[in-house]
Amino acid sequence: MATLPPLRFSVCVETMFTDKPFEQRLEYVADLGFPAFEFWSRQGKDMNIALALKLALRLEVSAFTGSTASLVDPAQRQQFLSDITRAASLAFDLSCANLVVTSGPALPNVPRDEQRRHLVALLHEAAETAADADTCLVLEPLNQLDHPGTFLSSSDEGFAIVREVGSPHVKLCFDVYHQQLSEGNLTQRITDHLDLIGHLQVADVPGRHEPGTGEINYEHLFGVLRELNYRGYVGLEYAPLFDAKASLKAVRALSQ
């Protein structure tokens, strides 16, 4: 029986080692033997230093936030497109696989199908910019408890949107924490739509802490991902309950 390859984990340096400067967090990631890191905004970070460190430490950048502008509000269309142009340029420099985007809040008094049409058209347009930079826009549904009023919570609808856009440069960011709160049935949803998932993120429920501390059976889920030969990154985007180094090692052990 062939040995299944290990999962490729990416450490979210926005939630880990938060008492250290951004640059130093990358060194911790490399020291622990993780292959990649991800972050949220580029604001307040020196991207030239980040690039130099990424190369020196031989790390990959799995994802960062492409834009926080709304995808359903026509008034924010130009902001979104200019954000993606800038982010795609940085993604090219960093050889970053994914740019994370979210739908934004649902608009009151605008039919839902009209908002969705705008979202699909905007992603379709931005996909060309992503393609030129050899990166992927990953659309992340958010749960309604932490993000009340958000337009997109359902991964089922998210997958349908990705299919509708019809570009290899637009996929879903499947955040297990959000989807457990929104809809559950995680194994089936991941298995049925693996080809549409560009990036995966993990944290446990409740509390958004490390896998293995809550109700989600991560030992099972990590096993499923390995059996499916998922070759994307699994983003460790959680708030550690205990020492971050020990926590990260424990999560990696859980997946083996």
Gap between the Cα atoms of 96 and 153, Å rounded: 25
- CB neighbour class for 137 (10 Å; exposed up to 12, middle 13-18, buried from 19): buried
Give the rounded percent of residues in the chain with a pLDDT score beyond 70. Answer: 99
pLDDT at 2 exceeding the cut of 90: no
79-104 CB burial, b ≥16 within 10 A, e <16:
ebeebbeebbebbeebebbbbbbbbb
Tell me if residue 232 falls in helix, strand or coil: coil
- Strands 98-101 and 233-236, how do they pair? unpaired
Q: How crowded is the C-beta side of 164, counted as CA atoms within 13 Å?
A: 15
**Mean pLDDT for the chain?**
97
List, for residues 109-131, the tens digit of each pLDDT value. 999 999 999 999 999 999 999 99
Q: What integer pLDDT is reported at residue 84 of this predicted model?
A: 98
- CB neighbour class for 63 (10 Å; exposed up to 12, middle 13-18, buried from 19): buried
List, for residues 129-173, the tens digit of each pLDDT value. 999 999 999 999 999 999 999 999 999 999 999 999 999 999 999
Q: What integer pLDDT is reported at residue 254 of this predicted model?
A: 95
- Strands 136-139 and 233-236, how do they pair? unpaired
Q: How crowded is the C-beta side of 116, counted as CA atoms within 13 Å?
A: 14
Long-range contacts of 32-35 (CB under 8 A, 24+ apart): 32/245, 32/248, 32/249, 34/9, 34/10, 34/59, 34/248, 34/252, 35/8, 35/9, 35/10, 35/59, 35/60
Cross-strand partners of 197: 172
Q: How wide is the angle at C-alpha 202 spanned by C-alphas 99 and 104, nearest 5°?
A: 45
Q: What single letter denotes the amino acid at residue 43?
A: Q
With cut-offs at 50, 70 and 90, classify the pLDDT of residue 221: very high
Question: What pTM, to 2 d.p., does this model score?
Answer: 0.97
Gap between the Cα atoms of 123 and 138, Å rounded: 10
Q: What single letter denotes the amino acid at residue 134?
A: D
With cut-offs at 50, 70 and 90, classify the pLDDT of residue 3: confident
Domain layout of the chain by residue ranges: 8-254
Q: What integer pLDDT is reported at residue 183 of this predicted model?
A: 97
Q: What integer pLDDT is reported at residue 149 of this predicted model?
A: 98
Tokens at residue 137, please? 């826009």
pLDDT at 186 exceeding the cut of 90: yes
pLDDT at 1 exceeding the cut of 70: no
- Contact present, 154 and 140 (Cβ < 8 Å): no
Q: What integer pLDDT is reported at residue 80 of this predicted model?
A: 98
Domain 8-254 has what CATH class? alpha beta
Cross-strand partners of 100: 65, 138
Q: To which H or E segment does residue 200 belong? A: strand 197-202
Q: What integer pLDDT is reported at residue 78 of this predicted model?
A: 98
List, for residues 33-92, the tens digit of each pLDDT value. 999 999 999 999 999 999 999 999 999 999 999 999 999 999 999 999 999 999 999 999
Instruction: Tell me what the mean pLDDT of segment 188-192 comes to.
Output: 98
